């Protein structure tokens, strides 16, 4: 499986992490960046427990967002 190195900005800190194309933002935040405040719930976006604030201030369901789409964000 091919991984791509992305830069993820969380709480103002930059993290460079290799991600696979299918990995969710939730998985990367919890498992790679080791910030466990973001919780895993239903994994289908219904419960909202995984909600994080996006770079534009909007709510993002991190269990549905692909991490690769958040490079430099």
**pLDDT for 48:** 97
CATH of the domain at 13: 3.10.20.30
Enclosing domain of residue 37: 4-70
- Residue 58: predicted pLDDT: 96
Q: Is the pLDDT of residue 1 over 90?
A: no
When divided into structural domains, the chain yields a total of 1
Please report the pLDDT score of residue 13 as a whole number.
Answer: 96
The predicted structure's pLDDT at residue 36? 96
Placement of tokens 């430099």 in the chain: 72
10-62 residue pLDDT tens: 999 999 999 999 999 999 999 999 999 999 999 999 999 999 999 999 999 99
Residues 50 and 61: beta-carbon distance below 8 Å: yes
């Amino acid at each position: 499986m091919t991984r791509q190195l992305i830069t993820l900005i969380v709480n103002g800190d930059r993290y460079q992490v290799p991600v696979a194309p299918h990995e969710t933002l939730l998985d990367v935040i919890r498992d790679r960046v080791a910030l466990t405040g973001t919780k895993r719930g239903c994994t289908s976006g219904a419960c909202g427990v995984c909600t994080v604030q996006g770079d534009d201030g909007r709510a993002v369901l991190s269990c549905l967002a692909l991490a690769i789409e958040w490079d430099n964000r």
